Amino acid sequence: MSKADNIFIAMCKDILKKGISSEGQIVRAKWEDGTPAHTIKKFAIINRYNLSEEFPILTLRPTNFKAAIDEILWIWQKKSSNIKDLNSRIWDSWANEDGSIGKAYGYQLGIRHEYPEGEFDQVDRVLYDLKHNPYSRRIIVNMYNHNDLHEMNLYPCAYSMTFNVTGKKLNAILNQRSQDVLVANNWNVTQYAILVHMFAQVNNLELGELVHVIADAHIYDRHIPLISELIKRTPFPAPKLLINQEKKDFYDFKLEDFVLENYRCGVQINNIPVAL
């Protein structure tokens, strides 16, 4: 049985049982019919995934593995904020007529800064430190740039990563200000687990933990029946992640370098309503 599924089930049960409803509050998000999209939420959810034990992809229902990787490469490798560089359509509603989502996500990672060791953007600084100073306690990436928030079509949800090497293990903390649990939870876990795998491989490090901190973990009102049905399912064993071991440069990874072996999962939930 997948440990990632157990974590997801426990989190959802906790939110449904102990969460706080937004009914009676003024909320930003709305459904397509204009109805306010209320939620039930928990503050400060913390989930831990030991990447050396299994790859934490959900088996209760399928997670679009390739699309999740494509987005993380779009942000972290291409450092793009234009949907023309992305294969999926998940950002279409946030893009302008030129395809840009503004100065968000990849744009922030590509801004170069001057350091005593030279000029780096945020991703290259991580790569430099993991190679030259792996035990630094300052290996942090932050996309929540207050100077540019007014030029972002959506404020970053998953906004920062802290990397920490303990012994030979690479650990990371993903900080997320807000998360739609049904739509995005395992999507984010999958793609940031892939990111840790990539950084570990190119720096000859072992896999440690991915710790996911969610400030506002919420389930939308129209998702409650879907979540309730989903967490009653029986999980499958976790699949095995295979990565092209010949890739030693972070910027050489392609979609085809990642394969899931024996990925068994439940049926997909179709027509999930999305709050905007």
Task: Answer yes or no: is 218 a known binding residue.
Answer: yes
| Burial grade of 238 (CB within 10 A; 0-12, 13-18, 19 or more) | buried
Look up 265 and say whether it is catalytic: no
Backbone angles phi, psi at 164, to 5 degrees: -145, 125
| Burial grade of 132 (CB within 10 A; 0-12, 13-18, 19 or more) | exposed
Task: Answer yes or no: is 153 a known binding residue.
Answer: no
Task: Answer yes or no: is 188 a known binding residue.
Answer: yes
Q: Which of 9, 45, 126, 157 is catalytic?
A: 157
Q: Within 10 A of 231 (CB to CB), how many other CB atoms are there? A: 17
Task: Answer yes or no: is 148 a known binding residue.
Answer: no
Task: Answer yes or no: is 219 a known binding residue.
Answer: yes
Task: Answer yes or no: is 177 a known binding residue.
Answer: yes
Task: Answer yes or no: is 129 a known binding residue.
Answer: no
Task: Answer yes or no: is 25 a known binding residue.
Answer: no
Within the chain, residue ranges assigned H as helices are 3-18, 65-76, 106-109, 122-132, 181-202, 224-230
d(CA 51, CA 209): 6
Task: Answer yes or no: is 179 a known binding residue.
Answer: yes
Q: Output the known binding site for dUMP.
A: 137-138, 177-180, 188, 218-220
Q: Output the known binding site.
A: 64, 137-138, 177-180, 188, 218-220, 275
Catalytic residue numbers read 157
